[in-house]
Chains A and B, each alone.
Chain A
Amino acid sequence: MFHVEHYDVVVIGAGHAGIEAANISEKYGLKTALITKNYSDLGKLSCNPSIGGVGKTHIASEVDILGGVICKIGDKSAIHYRVLNLSKGPAVWGVRAQIDRDLYSQNMKKFIKSSKIDLIEDEATNILEKNNKIIGVELSNIGKIKSKAVILTTGTFLNGKIYFGNESQEAGRIGNSSSKALAKFINKNFKTMRLKTGTPPRIYAQSINYDVLEPQISENNGIFLSYFTKQNTNKKINCFITKTNNKTHKIIRDNLDKSAMYSGIIKSQGVRYCPSIEDKITKFGDRNGHNIFLEPEGLNSDLVYPNGISNSLDKKIQLKFLRSIKGLEKCEVDQFGYAVEYDSVDPRELKNNFETKKIENFFLAGQINGTTGYEEAAGQGVYAAIHAAIKIKKIKFNTKVFERDNSYIGVLVDDLTKLGVTEPYRMFTSRAENRLKLRTDNSYERFSTIITPKAFNKAEYSLISKNIVNEKKILDQLKKLKYSPNNLMKKNIKVKKDGKVRNGFEVLKFLYPSPNNFYQFFNIKISQKLLTKIYFDSKYDVFYEREKKSFDQLSKNKNMKLTNIDFNKIPSLSKEILEKLNKHKPENLYDAGKISGITPSALFQIVKHKKDKGKKVA
């Protein structure tokens, strides 16, 4: 018996991936259901109460411009802002907002309720398919519901297990039971792996002695998470910084046998860039102290998130080492830190559109694909939903915007589906070859071919359109202005005396980029935000060209397909190289070249083998 409703898309899991997926799918006109185990969990920030940061903001800004919600709701719920890398140029600026957990959940719930998404509170227990094609989902209470596509975004819940020291319990995260029935289906059909992450304890604010600690005050740069945010009127809070010390280190070192990760109970792969305090002290024990950022969980919350000391130690030891830290001498703990181990799917089970290779119209997004982080999850939710819409509804969409030289989402998708993961994957700006171009301040430009009124409300859409028109107008004006080297010398700008006449856009990079200065020089009015953007466009112009060239170089042979090649038949490939090729199964030559340790000569060899084979068949 099927439930009456027939959906285009059912999204399982209302975390960061699920919400974005449901939202996009609804905006593109698909009939959408969003299923979550607990209504109260909707939009829960399972780990730290902050959104953004270097690399993460980059993905979030793309989600934002694709019509996603993480940035908008993030800004609405933000109570502290900082911009990282402000001294380094906008390509790597990373705005980070501390988020009030409760506000975020409330705002998210309000948003989902106001949409046409059907929110269903139930546990998905099975995926229904016929001849390797999705027909629906089975829920624990409601039973079966029909759907053309399913997007699975269950995060850390598949066979999730959490650990405090030697204690462990089955759970997707603290307070949430793990999804075992669904895990069975996934493990039966796909290659999975066991990954691990951790979270620090939560401390009562009143038990902290702030007087002895250094505060971090919220910055006010007018830089927000979302392109559309004009201001944030929430009250702002301070964060505080403290440090571990030698006493702390000794307590931890003496009790490593009481850590789930170090006693050998947990065997799965943790994250190198999110090390537990046990890791930090084992690997970098020579340091005098490791920073801890005390981040209040909200305006009305009495809890504080101590960023930097995620661990899986025995609860007693946790309290002991916490109390050895300045300002935390009398601290009381609400919730102890723990590690969580869970099943995730090898993302190479996915096609480039995030549909599984095995089951048609079955999409996976979020942490289940081996990533970590809210923003990474959100990006995947949007990506999967767009591709579901392309598949189910044949919407027109230029998927070129998702190539790795145009977007971080593209980099993420490419890395995941081509290389797979050995540890939870997080975005870094250095993963992008085209970093100078993939900036948060130009995402609207990179995605301009697919910006559509469907994805936004009227005010938002008219804001983007207006800005784009305005920018074009200013650029046209600039490009009409001409300057000879002599001309520029007179204006105190030193350029090579190459006789080259430069236009205003080309001259811009020699100016100090303030609106005042700009007005004096060009007699054009401009906002600081737009000026910063086009100033760096002018400055990076030559590098865009260069980047493009080297990308083209790589691209020349990149499409040579390697899917039906048996690398073992190439006699002269070294053992190590064979192992790597067999492990990563690159789809084409370009991907093969990206695998660590694959030499140009190995690539020659592959090409040669491939051509030989072709010759014999012919």
Chain B
Amino acid sequence: MFNEGTIYANITPIVKSPIIGYRISGEDVLFILKKLTNKNFKNNHSLLKLVDLYNYDGTILDKCSVVYFKSPKSFTGEDVCEIFIHGSPLIASQLEKTLKSYKIPGFRIAKNGEFSYRSVLNNKNSLKQAKAVNSIISNESFSLLEYNKRLLFEGDKVSGLAPLREEIINIFSEITASIDFVDDEDFNFKNIMKKIRFFFNYCNNLLHKNRTKIEQKSICKIMLIGAVNVGKSTLFNKIIDKDRAIVTEIKGTTRDFLSNLVIIDGKKFELFDTAGQRSKQGKIEKYGYKRAQSLSREIDHFLILSDKNTKSVDLKQLFYDFSVKNNYSLIKTKSDLYNYNTKDIKINHHLDRDNVLKKIKLSSIHKKYVNNKKIELNFDINEIEFLEDILKYEQDITKEKDILIIAQLIRNILDDFSYEFGYINNEDIYDRVFSNFCIGK
């Protein structure tokens, strides 16, 4: 569990792009930088430097930006550097080869989540905060993102679990007092049980309220369908603003569906490009078309592309194949080549992106499927699961008549909270007991 050694990993995908980033964390970072750049970074904490990188054989690898963070003032709490090379997978592989050539004992590629894990080990983040970092990256909704950011920057107290922790400590304190200081105040078993039931009811309410809140949809899923060669991939690339899908004049270029997340005007979309429709499909193509079809149930909205060559029977077939109801927009492509006189949206690949986006009206499509009301969350999915775990005690505790067994089970709940929020020990309980009750003679 407690693995050591300096670790590295790419922090952007290794694809052709303007930039590819790497992060290295551990005690060998300065050594590595020295080897790699011939420079000493010791006094360059958090400064972005433009430097030459050298290959293991001494030739120049790249000219790029490097930033160094001195322990403990880094994400992981260890020495960290981040290297931003030109976005060529080839350069990336050269860099990795060079790093490996130093033969540093224990130096290895980081496991999934290991940087975050180390940040917890090094007390840079609480467990809760590390989870928040992960969620920020993988977040599905903006509300959740906001919540995780607050958790990270303001601390555990913003969590909806915090008042529950207070309450369970209070309950446990009262039980403790009622056992150890019986003759000091009037303690009433029924009252205690009432508080316990109230606590669980409250948990249940929170659970139901917040589960629906969290699961509230935020992504609008849009699929591009249409005959082969009609220009689906062209439009797809335009919308996501990247050359992701291959575009050729060959019919049946796209063989399997592609998907890509894109945020437009603060709204999230997942876009799907698909294999085109035609009567004679190749084996793989057919399979790809089928796969796209099987996905159609999840799709909110279809962009149905056609041009002058599209036959109306084929168009009908499309509606049938993808079970399209009234969740579609009709788009005529290649308007530079053909004249259309329909109300359909007309586009061509010479239009700039903004213009295309305006025509397709993605924003109003999003509104139709996704509730965009911003909600204030104070739970995330981990915490919902935590609530569910706590509620597993409900039956056992509320049915029990022996206060000692109840005390034991509530102590288990306290232990669960201890794990999330830090240790709750006897002294914390006694503090509560002696300030809430007049104990002793």
Contacts of A600 in B (CB 8 A): 127, 419, 422-423
Residue A128 at the B interface, CB < 8 A?
A: no
A274 close to B422 (CB less than 8 A): no
Residue B438 at the A interface, CB < 8 A?
A: yes
Among the 9-residue stretches A116-124, A392-400, A423-431, A471-479, the one with 4 or more Cβ atoms under 8 Å from chain B is: A423-431
Residue B252 at the A interface, CB < 8 A?
A: no
Closest approach, in angstroms, between the C-beta of A326 and any C-beta of chain B?
Answer: 18
Contacts of B419 in A (CB 8 A): 600
Q: From A610, which residue of chain B is reached at the shortest CB distance?
A: B2
A596 close to B423 (CB less than 8 A): yes
A598 close to B423 (CB less than 8 A): yes
Q: Given contacts A572-B77, A604-B120, A604-B121, is CB(A280)–CB(B438) below 8 Å?
A: yes
Within 8 A of B (CB), among A89-107: 89, 91-92, 94
Contacts of A490 in B (CB 8 A): none
A596 close to B404 (CB less than 8 A): no
For chain B, the count of residues having a C-beta within 8 Å of the partner chain is 44
B440 close to A271 (CB less than 8 A): yes
Residue A184 at the B interface, CB < 8 A?
A: no
CA distance in complex: A398, B100 (Å) = 56
Cβ proximity bits B407-436 to A, threshold 8 Å, 1 near / 0 not: 110011001000100111111111000110
B404 close to A92 (CB less than 8 A): yes
B181 close to A273 (CB less than 8 A): yes
Q: Given contacts A55-B180, A572-B122, A615-B4, is CB(A88)–CB(B408) below 8 Å?
A: no
Residue B389 at the A interface, CB < 8 A?
A: no
Which of the residues A94, A273, A604 comes within 8 Å of B434, measured between beta carbons?
A: A273
Closest approach, in angstroms, between the C-beta of B439 and any C-beta of chain A?
Answer: 5
Q: Given contacts A272-B430, A435-B408, is CB(A605)–CB(B123) below 8 Å?
A: yes
Within 8 A of B (CB), among A48-106: 48, 54-55, 84-85, 88-89, 91-92, 94
Which of the residues A283, A605, A608, A612 comes within 8 Å of B438, measured between beta carbons?
A: A283
Closest approach, in angstroms, between the C-beta of A599 and any C-beta of chain B?
Answer: 4
CA distance in complex: A543, B411 (Å) = 12
Contacts of B176 in A (CB 8 A): 428, 430
CA distance in complex: A574, B125 (Å) = 11
Contacts of B123 in A (CB 8 A): 572-574, 577, 599, 601-602, 605
B121 close to A605 (CB less than 8 A): yes
B72 close to A571 (CB less than 8 A): yes
Residue A290 at the B interface, CB < 8 A?
A: yes
A89 close to B428 (CB less than 8 A): no
Q: Given contacts A550-B415, A596-B428, A604-B2, is CB(A84)–CB(B183) below 8 Å?
A: yes
A430 close to B180 (CB less than 8 A): yes
Residue A293 at the B interface, CB < 8 A?
A: yes
Residue A310 at the B interface, CB < 8 A?
A: yes
Contacts of B2 in A (CB 8 A): 604, 607-608, 611
Q: From A616, which residue of chain B is reached at the shortest CB distance?
A: B27
CA distance in complex: A539, B426 (Å) = 26
Residue A436 at the B interface, CB < 8 A?
A: yes
Which of the residues B121, B183, B407 comes within 8 Å of A608, measured between beta carbons?
A: B121
Which of the residues B183, B405, B439 comes within 8 Å of A543, measured between beta carbons?
A: B405
Contacts of A435 in B (CB 8 A): 404, 407-408
B439 close to A430 (CB less than 8 A): no
Residue A547 at the B interface, CB < 8 A?
A: yes
Closest approach, in angstroms, between the C-beta of A284 and any C-beta of chain B?
Answer: 4
CA distance in complex: A94, B179 (Å) = 10
B440 close to A599 (CB less than 8 A): no
Residue B124 at the A interface, CB < 8 A?
A: yes
Which of the residues B72, B423, B441 comes within 8 Å of A599, measured between beta carbons?
A: B423
Closest approach, in angstroms, between the C-beta of A265 and any C-beta of chain B?
Answer: 22
Closest approach, in angstroms, between the C-beta of A1 and any C-beta of chain B?
Answer: 49
Q: From A426, which residue of chain B is reached at the shortest CB distance?
A: B440
CA distance in complex: A327, B91 (Å) = 95
Contacts of B438 in A (CB 8 A): 275, 280, 283-284, 287, 290
CA distance in complex: A454, B122 (Å) = 54
Cβ proximity bits A261-278 to B, threshold 8 Å, 1 near / 0 not: 000000000011111000
B440 close to A429 (CB less than 8 A): no
Residue A308 at the B interface, CB < 8 A?
A: yes
CA distance in complex: A272, B422 (Å) = 25
Contacts of A615 in B (CB 8 A): 4
Which of the residues B182, B402, B412, B426 comes within 8 Å of A431, measured between beta carbons?
A: B426
Residue A595 at the B interface, CB < 8 A?
A: yes
Contacts of B281 in A (CB 8 A): none
Residue A307 at the B interface, CB < 8 A?
A: yes
Closest approach, in angstroms, between the C-beta of B45 and any C-beta of chain A?
Answer: 14
Which of the residues B4, B124, B408, B435 comes within 8 Å of A611, measured between beta carbons?
A: B4
CA distance in complex: A81, B120 (Å) = 55
Q: Given contacts A54-B182, A598-B423, is CB(A547)–CB(B408) below 8 Å?
A: yes
Within 8 A of B (CB), among A276-320: 280, 283-284, 287, 290, 293, 307-308, 310
CA distance in complex: A293, B441 (Å) = 9
A429 close to B422 (CB less than 8 A): no
A84 close to B121 (CB less than 8 A): no
Within 8 A of A (CB), among B103-127: 120-127
A601 close to B427 (CB less than 8 A): no
Closest approach, in angstroms, between the C-beta of A578 and any C-beta of chain B?
Answer: 10
Cβ proximity bits A583-599 to B, threshold 8 Å, 1 near / 0 not: 00000000001111111
A274 close to B440 (CB less than 8 A): yes
Residue B403 at the A interface, CB < 8 A?
A: yes
CA distance in complex: A428, B121 (Å) = 35
CA distance in complex: A615, B6 (Å) = 14
Closest approach, in angstroms, between the C-beta of B203 and any C-beta of chain A?
Answer: 22
Q: Given contacts A273-B181, A593-B423, A596-B428, is CB(A88)–CB(B404) below 8 Å?
A: yes
Q: From B125, which residue of chain A is reached at the shortest CB distance?
A: A601
Cβ proximity bits B178-198 to A, threshold 8 Å, 1 near / 0 not: 011111000000000000000
Q: From B179, which residue of chain A is reached at the shortest CB distance?
A: A92
Contacts of A284 in B (CB 8 A): 438
Residue B253 at the A interface, CB < 8 A?
A: no
CA distance in complex: A429, B422 (Å) = 23
Q: Given contacts A539-B402, A595-B425, is CB(A274)–CB(B441) below 8 Å?
A: yes
A307 close to B407 (CB less than 8 A): no
Q: From A55, which residue of chain B is reached at the shortest CB distance?
A: B180
Residue B237 at the A interface, CB < 8 A?
A: no
CA distance in complex: A574, B422 (Å) = 13
Q: Given contacts A274-B441, A571-B77, A600-B419, is CB(A85)–CB(B182) below 8 Å?
A: yes
Residue B71 at the A interface, CB < 8 A?
A: yes
CA distance in complex: A572, B69 (Å) = 14
CA distance in complex: A524, B312 (Å) = 92
Q: From B437, which residue of chain A is reached at the shortest CB distance?
A: A284
Q: From A598, which residue of chain B is reached at the shortest CB distance?
A: B423
Contacts of B415 in A (CB 8 A): 550
List 8 other contacts, CB 8 Å, given A571-B72, A594-B423.
A48-B441, A274-B441, A287-B438, A550-B415, A572-B72, A572-B124, A596-B425, A597-B422
Residues of A within 8 A of B (CB): 48, 54-55, 84-85, 88-89, 91-92, 94, 271-275, 280, 283-284, 287, 290, 293, 307-308, 310, 428-431, 433, 435-436, 539-540, 543, 546-547, 550, 571-574, 577, 593-602, 604-605, 607-608, 611-612, 615
7 residue pairs bridging A and B, Cβ less than 8 Å apart: A85-B179, A88-B403, A308-B441, A436-B405, A571-B72, A596-B425, A608-B4
Q: Which 10 A-B pairs have the closest CB atoms?
A: A599-B422, A284-B438, A272-B434, A273-B440, A572-B122, A428-B180, A571-B72, A572-B77, A572-B72, A308-B441
